[in-house]
Chains A and B, each alone.
Chain A
Amino acid sequence: MNKKDIYNDMCEQSRFESFFNKHSEHLHNFLYYKFGDRLDPQDKTQEAFVRLWENCKNIKPEKAKSYLFSIANNLMLNEVAHQKVVLKYTKIDKKNYSNESPEFLMEEDEYREKLQKAIASLTEPQRVAFLMNRTEGKRFKEIAETLGISTKAVEKRIYGAVKRLKKQIDGF
């Protein structure tokens, strides 16, 4: 019985911790890309892991990741209607490049605004994959693993996102 437990569930602490280290940040960022920061992705990530920990006995290691992601996703969805999230999402803070000319800064701000709108207009899967790729520099294969989809699908989503962004910003 004991031996079986070690290999068949998530209750052993070292196993749980390594699982946590591997996936927690991915999950957190995924939630952020998908839902924005208003719903506190860190809090939801934590809660999803608490659920996993509480139910460790019933969860097989190979199922743990999809369990975790769907729990977190549901926690988010339970909280708020989708549309609001996307709108909130666009209010992302900007960095300061203080040693540039005012005109240049203004231009950049204009560009940021355009990009913001464009990103908000992406479909949710496009945005998640695109931001994973661009902000974390993740390769298609890693993204595919995190999202549980094929590399080809990731490629399609990201390329679709870029094409759409370019069209929205440049107007063609």
Chain B
Amino acid sequence: MRTLMEKEDLIKKWLDNDLNPQELKAFEALEDYESLLKIARFSKEYTAPQFNKKKVLDTVLISPKSKKHTITSLKKQLLKVAALIAICFSTYYYTTTLDSNFSTTLAQRTSIALPDNSTADLNAGTNLSFNTSKWTENRAVVLDGEAFFKVAKGSTFSVLTADGTVTVLGTQFNVKQRNNYFEVTCFEGLVEVSYHKTKTILKPGESFISIYKRTVKNTEIISSTPDWLNQFSAFKSIPLREVLDELERQYNVLVDASNIDTAKEFTGRFPHNNIDTALQSILEPLHLKYKIKERNIILERE
């Protein structure tokens, strides 16, 4: 008796037509020999129907390969070119219509040349964006923070902020838009401020201030540029919390004013180049003390 493995091996070799004479003898001696042979004999009747190679090949070869082929390749070339143009165009369109964006972090300033001869100086912690490609039709910038604009003569120039819109024709003005604080100061020309549906015209030296929605129009003679460009901040009857916010922005510090009343109004100025002087300038008139711990400044009553 042969083992199952040997038997299986012989049958496989027979199927693969791979038996040597010795193995053939062993295979013929298998008890399944007759039955396997019968399967083999009758399976042959399942031969596939005649395949007419020549006829099929001829039919295939007369099918329109070359014609279709050139059309598709021409189409493809055109498509490729079209796609390339589309990509170039959309990239160009995308990049040019994309808003240019400029920001300053705390204790940082920058000066930006706008697409015409106008300029914008950004104070600390400010974000300004505008669209270069549409500049000629629409001179508009979006401002979050504080900036001083020198606008070249030309079409209407607008500054859009979360609180209000400032529109001018060619002038110098400063816009400050901080939390609950909105201030526009005109230095030259005429400035129109749209604030909550009311319109205010500012002449040189005038400023428009809104603190917690309470608006004030100030007509004080001021210098030709905003104070912050001269390295100090000046305030007139402004709540202390706004003053401290400005201090935080200029020096990149954190002021802890939890122990004092920040609603008190402050009139005065502080410099941007010396924090001790700045703190003393603000705090002494109000009889307050301060402690500095790294970036933190803690305010206390005297």
Contacts and interface: CB of A to CB of B under 8 A. Distances in A.
Interface of A: 11, 13, 16-17, 20-21, 24-25, 28-29, 32-33, 37, 41-42, 45-46, 49-50, 53-54, 56-57, 92, 94-95, 111-112, 115, 119, 130-131, 133-137, 139-140, 155, 158-159, 162, 165-166, 169-170
B49 A37 contact: yes
Nearest to A16: B61
A54 B45 CA distance: 36
A24 B73 contact: no
A3 B18 CA distance: 44
Interface string B213-253: 00000000000000000000000000000000000000000
Interface residues of B, number: 36
A131 B43 contact: yes
B35 interface: yes
A51 B60 CA distance: 9
B159 interface: no
A155 B16 contact: yes
A55 B60 CA distance: 12
A159 B43 contact: no
B32 interface: yes
B34 to A, nearest CB: 10
Given A42-B52, A139-B17, A155-B12, A134 B43 contact: yes
B83 to A, nearest CB: 18
B60 A49 contact: yes
B212 interface: no
B35 A54 contact: no
B46 A92 contact: yes
A139 B36 CA distance: 17
A136 B8 CA distance: 22
Contact of A50 (B35, B47, B63): B63
Contacts of B64: 54
B46 A131 contact: yes
B69 interface: yes
Nearest to B34: A170
Interface string B55-97: 0110111011100110011000000000000000000000000
Contact of B51 (A16, A25, A159): A25
A166 B36 CA distance: 7
A171 B264 CA distance: 106
B11 interface: yes
Given A13-B61, A29-B48, A155-B16, 18 more contacts: A20-B60, A24-B57, A32-B48, A45-B51, A49-B57, A50-B60, A50-B63, A54-B63, A112-B45, A119-B43, A130-B43, A133-B15, A140-B15, A155-B15, A165-B39, A166-B32, A166-B39, A170-B35
A159 B15 contact: yes
A111 B42 contact: yes
A122 B8 CA distance: 19
Contacts of A155: 12, 15-16
14 contacts: A28-B51, A29-B51, A37-B48, A41-B51, A42-B56, A50-B63, A112-B45, A119-B43, A134-B44, A135-B48, A136-B47, A162-B39, A166-B39, A169-B39
A127 to B, nearest CB: 9
B38 interface: yes
Contact of B15 (A53, A158, A169): A158
